[in-house]
């Protein structure tokens, strides 16, 4: 039993060290831009806004501060009275900023509601670059400058997600899932292969290319659809190691389950489109680690001993140290919570099973039955 535990711990840590090393090496090699070089009115920051998050106004205002001098396009549902009140207050308190609020009609069935808003607002963009940013996301000026720099030579440049610490267990679980995995997932394969998707929360592109939204409006997974459309025409994607900061309050465990279910279902759709060798590489680098944690727990419960406990304790300390090193290097702060981090990782197989079995998701106030990225129906009205 001691040998089995030692082998599991060693295999896990070796792969983790490899991923961390690859991610940090890529980050160190990325060409960066001087934030001071981001000239006024270079980029339009387009945000599809949906009220309901208590931090919405604070997050929108944070971008007005960090990206002052750029143009802002806020896309609100015409029936969303709270979003209209929030945006009106911000416009009144920031009279020097160039802000356009566009009221959008209801999204038709079988259309992506976020992309529908982007299509509706694309005619308002007259800057050289367009940057799509989720309404719960803060974009530091250094990240924006680097994304615009790489969008000049690529079809699209995307940021690295970093979640702000949560104030309850569900929010902390979600934050740990992202913060522990984003760098090692998004960056570790880049020395060997181009990105297979983008981070849909934050990406920049040339405004002249905004017609691409029309081509993906019938896809539910807009990030995967964008990446696929760009690659199909021989274009390129730049994945930056610069983060954007996301602050989403997860109300309760049911809300957490809905969000992770949607993310894992979209991840399965992404994997389905990859060739077998790429799927195998993803599994070897990212897929089997939670099973090791479950195996270690089972071994300790089946045959508890002080040597086994000491080995697992040492393993957990090294795991935590690796995560903290990566976070300090890329996020410039440590966001690791040991107990919540372990729980978040051990829950991942359950989320994958849930996503594989249940094809109905809740997203942006709607319920969809998902068969593929470009095949989904309104679950509230279909008879599937």
* Residue percentage of the chain with pLDDT more than 90: 66
Residues 6 or more apart whose CB falls under 8 angstroms from that of 21 comprise none
Main-chain dihedrals φ then ψ at residue 293, nearest 5 degrees: -65, -40
pLDDT tier for residue 380 given thresholds of 50, 70 and 90: low
List the domain range (segments joined by +) for residue 69: 1-384
Tell me the two tokens of residue 40: 């006024």
pLDDT tens digits, 147-184: 999 999 999 999 999 999 888 999 999 999 999 999 99
Task: Report the alpha-carbon distance of residue 384 to residue 378 in Å, rounded.
Answer: 10
Q: Is the dihedral of CA 75, 81, 86, 88 positive or negative?
A: positive
3-state secondary structure of 367: strand
CA neighbor of 247 nearest in space, from 162, 185, 329: 162
Total domain count, the chain: 1
First-to-last CA distance in the chain?
49
Residue 381 is predicted with a pLDDT of 57
pLDDT tier for residue 221 given thresholds of 50, 70 and 90: confident
pLDDT tier for residue 279 given thresholds of 50, 70 and 90: confident
Residue 382 is predicted with a pLDDT of 56
* Residue percentage of the chain with pLDDT more than 70: 98
Q: What is the pTM of this model?
A: 0.90
Q: Is the dihedral of CA 161, 164, 169, 170 positive or negative?
A: negative
CB of 377 closer than 8 Å to CB of 110: yes
CA neighbor of 41 nearest in space, from 72, 64, 65: 72
Task: Report the alpha-carbon distance of residue 337 to residue 339 in Å, rounded.
Answer: 6
Tell me the two tokens of residue 222: 């807009």
Task: Report the alpha-carbon distance of residue 282 to residue 288 in Å, rounded.
Answer: 10
Alpha-carbon dihedral 334, 15, 345, 174, rounded to 10 degrees? 40
Residues 6 or more apart whose CB falls under 8 angstroms from that of 9 comprise 292, 296, 311, 312, 314, 315
Tell me the two tokens of residue 44: 């339009």
Residue 384 is predicted with a pLDDT of 44
Q: Using the predicted structure, report yes or no on whether residue 42 has a pLDDT greater than 90.
A: yes
Residues 6 or more apart whose CB falls under 8 angstroms from that of 377 comprise 109, 110, 368, 369, 371, 384
Q: What is the mean pLDDT of residues 296-315?
A: 90
Tell me the two tokens of residue 62: 């944070």
CA neighbor of 264 nearest in space, from 181, 351, 184, 201: 351
Task: Report the alpha-carbon distance of residue 229 to residue 231 in Å, rounded.
Answer: 6
CA neighbor of 135 nearest in space, from 151, 162, 114: 114
- Read off the CATH number of the domain in which 20 is found: 3.90.550.10
Report for 188-192, 335-339, 363-367: range of highest mean pLDDT: 335-339
Q: What is the mean pLDDT of residues 100-107?
A: 93
């Amino acid at each position: 039993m001691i040998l089995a535990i030692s082998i599991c711990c060693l295999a896990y840590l070796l792969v983790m060290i490899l991923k961390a090393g690859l991610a940090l090496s890529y980050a160190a090699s990325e060409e960066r831009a001087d934030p001071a070089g981001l000239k006024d009115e270079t980029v339009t920051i387009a945000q599809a806004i949906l009220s309901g998050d208590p931090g919405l106004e604070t997050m929108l205002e944070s971008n007005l501060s960090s990206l002052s001098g750029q143009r802002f396009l806020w896309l609100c549902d015409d029936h969303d009275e709270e979003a209209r009140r929030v945006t009106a207050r911000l416009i009144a308190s920031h009279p020097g900023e160039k802000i356009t609020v566009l009221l959008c009609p209801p999204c038709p069935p079988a259309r992506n509601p976020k992309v529908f808003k982007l299509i509706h607002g694309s005619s308002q963009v007259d800057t050289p670059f367009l940057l799509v940013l989720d309404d719960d996301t803060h974009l530091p000026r250094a990240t924006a400058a680097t994304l615009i720099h790489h969008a000049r030579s690529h079809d699209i440049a995307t940021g690295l997600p970093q979640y702000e610490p949560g104030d309850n267990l569900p929010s902390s679980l979600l934050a740990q899932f992202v913060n522990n995995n984003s760098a090692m997932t998004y960056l570790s394969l880049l020395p060997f292969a181009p990105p297979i998707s983008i981070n849909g929360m934050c990406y920049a592109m040339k405004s002249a290319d905004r017609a691409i939204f029309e081509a993906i409006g019938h896809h539910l997974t807009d990030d995967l659809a964008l990446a696929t459309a760009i690659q199909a025409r021989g274009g390129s994607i730049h994945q930056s190691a610069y983060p954007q900061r996301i602050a989403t309050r997860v109300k309760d465990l049911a809300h957490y389950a809905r969000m992770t279910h949607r993310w894992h279902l979209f991840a399965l759709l992404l994997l389905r489109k990859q060739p077998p060798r790429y799927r195998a590489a993803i599994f070897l680098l990212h897929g089997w680690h939670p099973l090791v944690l479950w195996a270690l727990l089972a071994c300790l419960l089946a045959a508890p001993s002080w040597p086994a406990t000491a080995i697992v304790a040492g393993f957990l300390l090294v795991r935590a140290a690796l995560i903290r090193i990566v976070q300090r290097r890329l996020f410039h702060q440590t966001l690791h919570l040991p107990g919540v981090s372990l729980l978040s990782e051990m829950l991942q197989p359950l989320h994958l099973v849930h996503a594989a079995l249940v094809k109905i998701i809740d997203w942006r106030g709607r319920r969809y039955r998902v068969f593929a990225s470009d095949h989904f129906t309104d679950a509230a009205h279909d008879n599937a």
